[in-house]
Every structure is written in C-alpha cells, then in structure tokens.
Structure 1
Amino acid sequence: MKYFENRTIWVTGASSGIGEGLVQHLSKIKCNLIISARRKEELDRVKSENQHLAHIEVLPLDLADGPSLEAKVREAEAIFGGVDILFNNGGISQRDKVINTSMEVQRQIMEVNYFGTIALSKYVLPGMLERGFGHHVAVTSAVGIISTPLRSGYSASKHAVHGFYDALRAEHHDNGIKVTLILPGYVNTKISYNALMGDGSKQNTLDKAQAAGLTVDQLVRRLLRSVAKQKEESYIGGLKEVFGIYMKRFFPGIFSILVRKMPVT
C-alpha cells in the first residue's frame, strides 16, 4: 500500500498473533520496520521469516517495565531517525470474574495495556510534531466500547486507551498527527491461552469464540486498509461483535440484558 511506503513503522506485540501478522504484510512493502516484544528469540524468528522488501530491525521491550520505555523509544528513533507510524499492539487479556480477580492482576493488566501503550505514544510524539507527521494506531478491542463478563480489567484498560487517544487526536489534529483505533472482535490467536485468571495464572486454553473468529490474515488486511484511509475508528469482526457495539451505543438497556447470557469463552 502506498501509504506505508518509505515510512518508518514500529510494531509492538510483534512476536505472535496480530503483531506478527502485521509484520508479515508490512515486510512486503518498501519501508523501515521496527519490531518489538519481550522475547528476542521470537522477534529474531519473525524477522528471519519475513525477509522481503522492508528493512527490519529488532528492538525487545517489556510494556510492563514503565521506567524503561522512554529509553526504548529513544533507541527506536535512533535506528532510522524517527518513527512515522506506531502500531501499539502489545497487551494481555483476562478470563475471570471480578470477585475472583486480585487487585494485583487488575493493576498488571492496566500497566501493560494502558500505561505501557500510552507511554510509547507520549514519548514518540515530540519527534512526530517536529517532523509534522505521525500516525498512532492502537489495536484495542470491541470491549473498548462494550464490556462482557470475565473481562473487567481487560475491558477497563481498553476503555482507558480510547479516552487517551481521543484526546490525543483532538489536541494535535492540526499538527499532522493521526490516530486510528482498531476494534477487533474475536480473532483466532493465542491471546486466550495467555489470558490471566484472577490469581495471575494463565488460562492455557483456546476460547471457542476465539477459535471461531477471524483469521489473523483477514483482520490484518482490513486493519491496514483502515489505517491507510486514516480512519479514526474501525470495527473489525463478526456480525455479533459489531452488532453489539451499535446495540450498546443506541440501545444500552437491551444490550445490558443480552450481554448477561453472551458466550464469551
């Protein structure tokens, strides 16, 4: 896609799932690509499997390590001389009731999904403003608008992300800064395997709803088209998830009844 050509693009969460899917597609475009996640060995694998037109560099980071993130942004900017497009894709999910979920787990989810995400955007923003262009892409979730059972912390973190990026968009619209919020529904990734239970352990199973969702390739193709069109929000999922977003917006009372019986695992 022309929009991404000759840009410097940074993808977090790039070692698996949607992030890896983004690398697979963007690597076929002539651009500079920085890929980040916690596991360097997995990032090296992704790089080796996607040697196409893009120039790919690996930059490991941990979104939960807040004090390290400003330095990581400076490292990213130094690689190619700045960041044009930031795909904030890293995160963790949750599968437990409020009563069973410790406050430590709630804080852990917020640290990664909210604070880690917005820190990268905040620290790349000055450089983008200097160059007069920047595009922040936050891959959030349909639960950034609707909340379902077993995802109190996850949903709260995504609601918070929406609030931050809506403000960022309004503040710097006239400075060449773009913001796109991507709201996937169910996507067949391993996110449910790594989803946190109330005690901090991993669920280690694939949700039926997740298994029946979009493939990563289907999602990423639609995601990149939305970003190239500079859409502010894009709802990408099955009929039930997208319908749920509009139902919540226009008929919140009815949605409240329906969501109580919604199959969410």
Structure 2
Amino acid sequence: MAICVLVWASVVGFLLFLLVRFARYSDGDFTLQWLEWRGKKPEEELFGKVVWITGASSGIGEEMAYQLAKIGSRLALSARRENELERVKKKCLEISQLSDKDILIVPLNLTHRSTHESATSTVLKYFGRIDVLVNNGGRGQFSLFVDTSVDVYNAIMKINYLGTISLTKPVLNHMIERKQGKVVTISSALGIMGAPLVTGYCASKHALMGFFNSLRPELTKYPEISVINICPGPVQSQIVQNAFTEDLSKKHITFGDQFRKMTTERCVRLTLVSLVNNLKEAWISDQPYLAAYYLWQYTPTWAWWLLNLLGPKQIQNFKSGVDANASFF
C-alpha cells in the first residue's frame, strides 16, 4: 500500500513539475520541445541544401538566412528590396564559409504572380534544384474592422495568401518531379486563433493554414515531400512597422516595445528544428501566449471568454495611441 502511494505521489509530482516548467520556461509545443532535445539537428540535415527564402530582407527571413548560412546551406533570397537583399547576402558571407556563388538574390514581389514561374526557373537554373521553400514573405495589419477599407483586405489577401500559393505551385511541381522537398510556411498564432485589430491578417493566415493542411493529403504518394506550417506568436521583427492600417495610404505609427516578444533568433532556431523533423504544425511562442494556443485548441469556450475579457482593453489601448498589449505586461 505504501509503495502504491509513493508511486502515485511520484507520478503526480512529476506531472506538476512538467506543468510548472511549461508555464515558466516553455517556448514551443510539447512535440517541438521533445524534438529539440532528442530529434534531428539542423546542422546535420541542412548542410549543402538549397533553401529559397521569401521575405528575406528583414525579420524572420533575414535571421533564417544568417542561421542557414552558418550551417552551410545554399541560399536563394527573395524580397522586393534588392538593396536590402544585398545587405543580407553580404552579412551571410561575412559570418559563414559560403562563397559568393552559394547565394543567389532573386528580387520578388508576391503580388506580381505572373513573375513567380520565371523566378522559380531562375533559381532552378542556378542551383539545379530547390530542397526547401520557406514561404515567409507577407504583411501585417492593425486596425478596427469598422474603420478599415475593403481595399486593405483585398491587398493583404493578395500578398499573404494568393501570393504564397502562387509561388508554391511551380516550386511544388519541381519537388513532385524529384519526389522530394519541403514546403515551409510561416503562418502565425493568428492562423489558428482570433484576436481584435488584426481581422485581415488573421483571415489571411487562416486561409494559408486551410490551404496547406488540405494540400498535404494530396501529396501522400510522395512521402519525401513535407508540408510544414510554423505558427509563431509575437516575435521581434518589423511586421508591425510594415503593417497595413485602415487605409492603404496610411502608415502604422504605434509600434510598442519589442522586449516582451520572443527573439527572432530563437524563433528561427525552433523553426529549423521543426523543418528537419518534418513537423506538420509547430507552435512557437513565449508564455503567456503559448498557453493560449492550448486553450484555443482544447478549451475554446475558455479561450473565447478570455478573448472577450482582454479584447476591449486592447482596443482601448489602440485608440489611445499605445501598444495594444501594453497593459498586460
């Protein structure tokens, strides 16, 4: 009897330890945490691989270029601003053993869908293959729906959703011919939950999740092709600065503090772990946001209650000209 009590006490104690550790230190879902510890390592899997990154001129895409360069991946870097891509390429060469021929700059606008097939041909002609496509390019949005022009919703869907699937199509055709490859899409926590002030952005990320989750079973006869969705929470990047507001001609001017957000370096590291271990979906965020993923997934009624509780304060902060989440930190 005493032994049984001791065993149960040990089990309960261990579960409490895991719960406390999750609440205080976790920055990725349970599967991702396990794979970071015991799974495949990016350094062992990505050396020499050809990786095409969109949105590579800033934020997550820029940091991903640096980490992959250090690993030894060969890179195709795309964004609208060619001068910024040159800057990123220069730093990649400075911090790695790559040579100039290992990095190709491919200027790309996701809204110019007629150019996506030729851009893909450029990368294939240069490297001969594409092992990994990282769909990272896109824009944010920060405004109240009642104030927002429909043109903003049209623009964000053209960039985040239609632009992404347009580029994916020719790349995926190539991967199907080779019977291998990885399509990695940087979605968002807002691809699986809702939030005020980001209705257009949230809709575009939900669309991406729906598309790629539906595409995945179409590829079951190609087991070496992986479709991977990455869902980061708040990350230190330029997404807020570049976000749409209620009008296409108006810039967002309230940026808020970045210190409370996950570092871009950590987000990219966990993304690469997800990539090499072929996770279909990865949740990446510091607390308390990570807990919200689980609430939304497993107890949606509680999640809606919490959202209704916090939403009005976020809107009040936004209208006052301060960061929407300022009061929660």
TM-score range, shorter chain: over 0.9
Contact 2:113 2:167 in 1 (8 A): no
Question: d(CA) in 1 for partners of 2:73 and 2:242?
Answer: 31
Corresponding residue for residue 34 of structure 1: 76
Q: Moved runs in structure 1, 4+ residues, more than 6 A?
A: none
The one-letter code sitting in structure 1 at the alignment partner of 2:253 is: N
Equivalent residue runs for 1:245-256 within 5 Å: 245-256=293-304
In the alignment, structure 1 residue 53 sits paired with structure 2 residue 114: no
Corresponding residue for residue 13 of structure 1: 55
Question: d(CA) in 2 for partners of 1:79 and 1:257?
Answer: 52
The one-letter code sitting in structure 2 at the alignment partner of 1:137 is: V
Unaligned runs of 5+ in 2: 1-42, 315-323
Contact 1:183 1:235 in 2 (8 A): yes
Of the structure 1 ranges 49-58 and 87-96, higher mean CA displacement relative to structure 2 is found in 49-58
Question: d(CA) in 2 for partners of 1:131 and 1:24?
Answer: 27
Unaligned runs of 5+ in 1: none
Question: d(CA) in 1 for partners of 2:113 and 2:289?
Answer: 32
The one-letter code sitting in structure 1 at the alignment partner of 2:303 is: F
SS in 2 for 1:49: helix
TM-score by length of 1: 0.96
Question: d(CA) in 1 for partners of 2:155 and 2:281?
Answer: 26
SS in 2 for 1:194: coil
Corresponding residue for residue 203 of structure 1: 252
The one-letter code sitting in structure 1 at the alignment partner of 2:197 is: L
In the alignment, structure 1 residue 129 sits paired with structure 2 residue 176: yes
Deviations 1:68-124 (CA, angstroms, capped at 9, x unpaired):
222212222222012110011011001101111111100110011001111111111
Contact 1:194 1:204 in 2 (8 A): no
Corresponding residue for residue 212 of structure 1: 260
How far the C-alpha of 1:174 sits from its partner, in A, is: 2.5
Question: d(CA) in 1 for partners of 2:305 and 2:123?
Answer: 46
Cα 1:247–1:13, aligned 2, differ >3 Å: closer, same or farther?
Answer: same
Question: d(CA) in 1 for partners of 2:220 and 2:126?
Answer: 27
How far the C-alpha of 1:207 sits from its partner, in A, is: 3.0
Contact 2:191 2:202 in 1 (8 A): yes
Question: d(CA) in 1 for partners of 2:294 and 2:236?
Answer: 23
* Count of residues in correspondence between the two structures: 264
The one-letter code sitting in structure 2 at the alignment partner of 1:53 is: Q
Question: d(CA) in 2 for partners of 1:172 and 1:222?
Answer: 25
The one-letter code sitting in structure 2 at the alignment partner of 1:48 is: K
How far the C-alpha of 1:19 sits from its partner, in A, is: 0.3
Question: d(CA) in 2 for partners of 1:207 and 1:72?
Answer: 36
Question: d(CA) in 2 for partners of 1:109 and 1:140?
Answer: 14
SS in 2 for 1:154: helix
In the alignment, structure 1 residue 168 sits paired with structure 2 residue 215: yes
Contact 2:113 2:163 in 1 (8 A): yes
Of the structure 1 ranges 16-25 and 234-243, higher mean CA displacement relative to structure 2 is found in 234-243
Higher-Rg member (1/2): 2
Question: d(CA) in 1 for partners of 2:295 and 2:227?
Answer: 25
Question: d(CA) in 2 for partners of 1:91 and 1:26?
Answer: 20
SS in 2 for 1:239: coil
Equivalent residue runs for 1:107-186 within 5 Å: 107-175=154-222, 176-186=224-234
SS in 1 for 2:122: helix
Corresponding residue for residue 99 of structure 1: 146
SS in 2 for 1:137: strand
Of the structure 1 ranges 106-115 and 195-204, higher mean CA displacement relative to structure 2 is found in 195-204
Contact 1:183 1:236 in 2 (8 A): yes
SS in 1 for 2:221: helix
Contact 1:187 1:211 in 2 (8 A): no
Question: d(CA) in 1 for partners of 2:61 and 2:197?
Answer: 24
**Structure with the higher helix share, 1 or 2:** 2
Question: d(CA) in 2 for partners of 1:123 and 1:188?
Answer: 31
Of the structure 1 ranges 59-68 and 157-166, higher mean CA displacement relative to structure 2 is found in 59-68
